[in-house]
Structure 1
Amino acid sequence: MKKITLLLLIALFSFSGCEKDDICDANTSTTPRLVLTFYDINNPSVLKSVTKLKVVGEGMTEGIVFNATATGDSKYLTSANTISIPLKTDADTTTYSFTYNYGNSNPALVFVDTVTINYSRNTIYVSRACGYKTVFTLSPSNAIIHTAVPSSSDTWMRYISVEKTNIENENETHLKIFF
């Protein structure tokens, strides 16, 4: 009887040290990216796909990966009507260059616009397993600064509309870009 009691006590103590696994569920909301949707400037209610768009952040040597399975420059190109791009979590401004028709052999058909996004950040505790996430609020006075590169050329983006100032998830369009 003493052996059974001792065995039960050992088993009880060995399981009492176990802790719940700290694994962040894939469905848990993390730091959201900025969602941009492109529209036809001549018919503003119609979505319009971009042509070979490459997005490069200021200070980055490579673009944002839109197609991880592609090779070479193709992985940085998209021809979609909606894209998501990350904002810096350690600064209140992020600048991107958007190259439309990237790689075209005719330089007159390649357009580069620079967009600077100004915002404030709020860090929120999610859980022990997931850590923290950052949510953003676009600046009410100058959320978007849009220029062409070089500055003497026309912009390919004709109008940028701020749809949502609070960037808390990726389920909605934050900016509409008309071209």
Structure 2
Amino acid sequence: MKRLALAFFLIALVAVSFLGCEKDDICPEDSVTTPLLIITFNDNNDPESLEDVPSLRVIGKDKDEPVTTFADSTDIDSIGIPLKVFANESVFAFIRHTEEITDAGDTLTVINADTLTFSYRTEQEFISRACGFITNYAELTVTRDQEDEDNWISSLEVVNPTVENQNTTHVKIYH
């Protein structure tokens, strides 16, 4: 009788431990995450055409290192950058490196940085107990530092003011 009671107790203990686990205790790798801001760089003379920015580097305000969501100092026509989740604006320096040939035949690297401020309203969305929350962004606007007189960016356009996924362009930068 004691053995039968012990067996029932062990079976009940195992059943309770399995019933206590839920499907959302593990966050799947393919689950939704906070989206990056997708920016394309377009030709100022042909606005529908993408144009590489030579040796682009993007550094956040008060940061020492460039963003790591794309290869640093590469020629690139579109990028994704992270926005701050606990603030209503993110400031980045967009740095373009170009090479110029002098009259003496020397090659000089010219560094030109434009500072952009992205303003938005954050919206927290609960995904699951294991994955937690993600942040989406609404009412996105972008402004350029007006004190800089040597701009390489000609104009800015917010194409999609709601940042909920990474499958669409949010901002176009014309240069």
Q: Cα RMSD over matched residues?
A: 2.3
Q: Which runs of 5+ in 2 are unaligned?
A: 101-106
Match in the other structure for 2:148: 151
Report the Cα offset of residue 48 of structure 1.
1.1
Aligned residue for 1:95? 91
The one-letter code sitting in structure 1 at the alignment partner of 2:55 is: K
Whether the 8 Å contact between 2:85 and 2:135 is mirrored in structure 1 is: yes
Q: Deviations over 1:134-153 (max 9, x none)?
A: 111135xxx111126x7232
Corresponding position: 1:60 with 2:56: no
Q: Percent identical across equivalent pairs?
A: 29
| In 1: Cα distance, 2:10 partner to 2:148 partner | 75
**What is the rounded CA distance, in whole Å, between the counterparts of 2:113 and 2:62 in structure 1?**
16
Cα distance 1:88–1:103, how it changes in 2: closer, same or farther (>3 A)? farther
TM-score norm. by structure 1 comes to 0.82
What secondary structure sits across from 2:67 in the alignment? coil
Runs of 4+ in 1 over 6 A off after TM superposition: 102-105
Give structure 1 stretches of 5+ with no counterpart.
68-74
- Asked if the contact 1:53–1:102 (Cα under 8 Å) also holds between the matched residues in 2, the reply is no
Separation in 2 of the partners of 1:92 and 1:29? 22
Aligned letter for 2:130?
A
List per-residue Cα deviations over 1:110-131 (Å, max 9, x = no partner): 2110000111111111110100
* Equivalent residue, structure 2, for 1:129: 130
> Structure 1 residues 76, 129: closer, same or farther in 2, change over 3 A?
same
Distance 2:113 2:53 in 1: 13
Task: Tell whether 2:74 aligns with 1:78.
Answer: yes
Residues 102, 55 of structure 1: alpha-carbon distance in 2 compared, 3 angstrom cutoff: farther
Map 1:2-13 to 2 at 5 A: 3=3, 6-13=6-13
How many aligned residue pairs are there? 166
Range that drifts further, 1-10 or 160-169: 1-10
Aligned counterparts of 1:137 and 1:79: Cα–Cα separation in 2? 30
TM-score of the superposition, structure 2-length normalised? 0.84
Cα distance in 1 for residues equivalent to 2:26 and 2:74: 33
1:14–1:49 Cα change, 3 Å = same
Q: Does 1:106 align with 2:102?
A: no
Instruction: Quote the Cα distance in structure 1 between the aligned partners of 2:15 and 2:74.
Output: 52
CA displacement 1:18-65 (0-9 Å, x = unmatched): 313611112211111110011111111111111110000001011112
